[in-house]
Structure 1
Amino acid sequence: MGRRIGGPGGGSDPGAGKAGAVVAAGVLAVSVAAGSGGGLSLGGGASTTAADSAGLNITRAKSEGRKSARNGDADGAWRQVNMRTLKRTAKPAVECVSHSFGQVRDHLTRNPCRSLDRTLFAVGDDRGNVAVVSVAWVGFRTRRDAGEFKELIDVHGTGDITPLAAPLLGLADVRFTGLHYRSRSDGGTVVIAEAEPASGRVSGEVLDAMADMASWLPR
């Protein structure tokens, strides 16, 4: 599901209390600098753009993208919004507390996860529009534990699982705001997907669609 915006302000206003923590602690800056392999190549293939969603049927794109994602075909999913994988990195962890913050971290201290796998995608089109998509698979002992964790993390401003910060894009300060977010329960696992623009222009609808599709990728 998408994140609920709550707190004293109500509605979409996070207010100054619990949900307002997103200003200080809930916005995560991921510094991404070019590695030894240099920058990303955006050339080749047909000229497509994800700058806006005017020419896209977003509902259909998400539906078809989910099918590809379920089969582990991330590129097949991104193609539904005229994007493709530029680079990707993945890393497992043996615990979750040191890879989380806010109330989410406090919860995981009391209710430890059993596994954590994280992937970070750099996704772009042929006109230099680039987005970063983070996916985390958080495993718990029981479905109940997973459900309680999902209920907490789905509230904007309660913290997060820290996305991977890798030298992928040659850019800095890609901020995961939680505004383009989807989560999904799969037994004792909670899948958390987030998307943010990195360079150029990528519409909010396309970012939402990519987060939705990414949440269906298998571990």
Structure 2
Amino acid sequence: MRLLVIEDNRQLVANLFDYFEARGHVLDVAPDGITGLHLAVCQPYDAIILDWMLPRMEGPEVLRRLRAEHASEVPVIMLTARDELPDKITGFRAGADDYLTKPFALPELEVRLEALLLRARGRNPRRRLQVADLVLDLATLEAQRGGQVLHLYPACRKLLEVLMRASPGAVTRQQLEFALWGDDLPDGDLLRSHVYELRRSVDGPFAQKLVHTLPRVGYRLAAADPAPEADHGR
């Protein structure tokens, strides 16, 4: 499993790393909610371990934004000392798949994560996204169109994943910028450059164009463009 741990308790994080890495799992850690949301949006994880009480953004808000704004279906288990029923209801309504109260046994957490992964694989056993003849394998991160492998930079691959998850809906510039950089935006319009590279790889050799610009809104990836496009670099 590749796990994201969003937790500010250093001792708990150390215990999680010792336990899960010894069993061959790979872990990333975020010490606050905003960093955790950024990693969850930008990197592929099998599951997320999310604390409730976090600096900068609390766990339920991280989860709400992950589900509502980024359409992520990654399994999430919430860790918290809150064991009252109203708190559990709040966690599940925010989008949690499971809820584990502190203190807990690490083997129980592992078993719960395994159960979440089995259910998730049942929802999407092939772990791939497809729009028209464009396919993105979420396990290998390989993109193909018409059977032809597309060579994408990491930033372009992330943009492609976000657009494909939302397809045929629109994704705003702000959502794409957050997916790439979180709240630490670079100087200049780097998004425009990345979209240009993505469009060149995905659409360049093909007659049917899939990446569409929505002026003053953002972009969409779909087999049909609903409106005339403006500047193709934006």
- Could you say which structure has the higher helix fraction? 2
Which has the larger strand fraction? 1
Higher relative contact order (CA 8 A, sep 6+): 1
Report the TM-score when normalising by structure 2. Answer: 0.21
